[in-house]
Amino acid sequence: MKVDVYGTNGKATGRKIELPDEIFGIEPNEHAVYLDVKAIQANGRQGTHKAKERGEIAGSTKKIKRQKGTGTARAGSIKNPLFKGGGRVFGPRPRSYGQKLNKKVKRLARISALSAKSAAGAIKVVEDFTFDQPKTKEYVNVLKNLELANSKTLLVVPEMDKNLVLSQRNVKESRITLAKDINTLEIMKANTLLISEASVDKIKETLSK
């Protein structure tokens, strides 16, 4: 499918660019998207949580009261989980939450996400641009010109430009990513994908079979 290429002034440049149907025009596979998003979020967890159990609590092991005749339950240690300051029963331990996903499923998920955004009219291709110096106001003006000032946007670029990154980073609800690193979660979180003209070929290269 062919789409218009917009300038930073918000107007169509008169040029069109081809978005391949095999990437931007398939029937989205919702289950693949679900699996990929779940894996990305799981892999982002640190898994460093830890609670001390009975054997790790500092305290005396002396029997704290006699076995019988107290009228209460027997107790053999101050580290008993039932007592305040005692160890925790089956507390969390450091672990990895990482999940593996087949490359073909990850590719299908990203293509499905891009196709869903395309079908919803939530993709805009903009001509390649940068700034002479970091200027948040200039980046905000670009978004305003493209009528995306109040939208969650994901700018996809072929390579990181320092001035562009510094101009974008303080803009709320706006993110920037490399075309080769684009992932399903970022795509789905954005209301609009703002794809730079040169990034289209990079996306084709990354997601081609």
For the residues of 128-169, what is the DSSP string, one character each?
----SS--HHHHHHHHHHTT-TTS-EEEEESS--HHHHHHHT
Q: What gap in Å lies between CA 63 and CA 46, rounded to an integer?
A: 39
Cβ(207)–Cβ(22) under 8 Å?
no
pLDDT of residue 209: 66
Instruction: Let me know: does 94 contact 49? Beta carbons within 8 Å.
Output: yes
Asked if 108 and 29 count as a contact pair (C-beta separation under 8 A), the reply is yes
Domain boundaries, the chain: 2-45+99-207, 51-91
CATH classification for the domain delimited by 2-45+99-207, as one of 3.40.640.10, 3.40.1370.10, 3.40.50.740, 3.30.1330.40? 3.40.1370.10
Count of alpha carbons within 13 angstroms of residue 80, beta-carbon side: 12
Host H or E run for residue 112 = helix 103-119
All residues at 6 or more sequence positions from 82 whose CB lies less than 8 Å from its CB, including other chains: 75
CA 172 to the chain's CA centroid: 16
**3 contacts 125 by C-beta, under 8 angstroms:** yes
pLDDT tens per residue, range 16-35: 999 999 999 999 999 999 99
Answer left, alpha or beta for residue 200, where phi above 0 means left and psi between -120 and 50 means alpha. alpha
Q: How many helices (H) and strands (E) does the chain have?
A: 7, 6
In this predicted structure, what is the pLDDT of residue 208? 83
- In the predicted model, residues of the chain with pLDDT beneath 70 are 209
CA distance 47 to 32: 25
